[in-house]
Amino acid sequence: MSQQEFWNSKFSREGFLYGLKPNGFIASKIKSFPKDAKVLCLGEGEGRNAIFLAKRGFDVTAIDASDIGLSKLKQRADEENLEIKTICIDLNHWEVDSKYDVIVASYLHMYKEDRDDLFEKIDDSLNVDGLFIGEFFSQKQISYNSGGPKDLDLLYTVEDFKSHYTFSGAEVKEQITILDEGKGHQGEACVIRVFLEK
């Protein structure tokens, strides 16, 4: 099953699987964004982070493999009179063609063997002094029932990030949090929070 088929099956249901609120960690970091920042949302799904950021005046582009997820994003954006650029592509096939001030991601399901390539693309897409901010499910999430894949190869360790990102402004922390993100993410979870300044 392709990424598009997998996510379309999830996003074709009524409503918004992960709710309408942005990821709490990403939302908590917007004071760090440069004014009028150009922001890229990776694996953005139905658009909760993109909508939140566009409402605050940022220039937002959203990438996702699911055309159904992105159509829900576009519908919400039209209702809110927001302009958000969307790109429908599997992140494994994404090619860098623009620079961004900030790149955000929440719970990217990326196989371990594909991450180095993705991290390189993120590096290449960030402007000097750019920020990469994300929340990811830890491998310890396998013991929780609050959401996320049940495949260790789709879950992350702190070392996954620390081995690649050697920026002086790198913060990578594993912690327990309580998720309240639609039907898809509810309850206690173990996550890795990443805040990197290039």
What is 3-197's CATH superfamily? Vaccinia Virus protein VP39 (3.40.50.150)
Task: Give the pLDDT of residue 6.
Answer: 79
Task: Tell me how far apart the alpha carbons of residues 46 and 43 are, in angstroms, rounded to a whole number.
Answer: 9
Of 59, 62, 20, 63, the closest CA to residue 185 belongs to 20
Q: Is the pLDDT score of 70 beyond 80?
A: yes
Q: Is the pLDDT score of 176 beyond 70?
A: yes
Q: Is the pLDDT score of 72 beyond 80?
A: yes
Q: At what angle do helices 67-79 and 3-11 cross, to 10 degrees?
A: 50
Share of the chain above pLDDT 70, in %: 98
Q: At what angle do helices 48-55 and 67-79 cross, to 10 degrees?
A: 30
Task: Tell me how far apart the alpha carbons of residues 198 and 183 are, in angstroms, rounded to a whole number.
Answer: 34
Across the chain, mean pLDDT equals 93
Q: What is the pLDDT of residues 125-172, one digit of tens each?
A: 999 999 999 999 999 999 999 999 999 999 999 999 988 876 666 899
pTM for the model stands at 0.94
Q: What is the mean pLDDT of residues 159-187?
A: 88
Phi first, then psi: what are they for 35, rounded to 5°? -60, 135
Task: Give the pLDDT of residue 18.
Answer: 87
Task: Give the pLDDT of residue 126.
Answer: 95
Q: What is the mean pLDDT of residues 173-197?
A: 95
Of 98, 122, 97, 95, the closest CA to residue 108 belongs to 122
Confidence category of residue 76, pLDDT binned at 50, 70, 90: very high
Task: Give the pLDDT of residue 13.
Answer: 83
Q: What is the pLDDT of residues 97-119, one digit of tens each?
A: 999 999 999 999 999 999 999 99
Of 105, 104, 164, 97, the closest CA to residue 124 belongs to 97
Cα→Cα distances 9→17, 57, 63, 193, Å: 11, 32, 18, 28
Q: What is the mean pLDDT of residues 54-65?
A: 97
Q: Which residues does residue 42 pair with via DSSP β-bridges, in sequence order?
A: 105
Q: What is the mean pLDDT of residues 28-39?
A: 96
Task: Give the pLDDT of residue 166.
Answer: 64
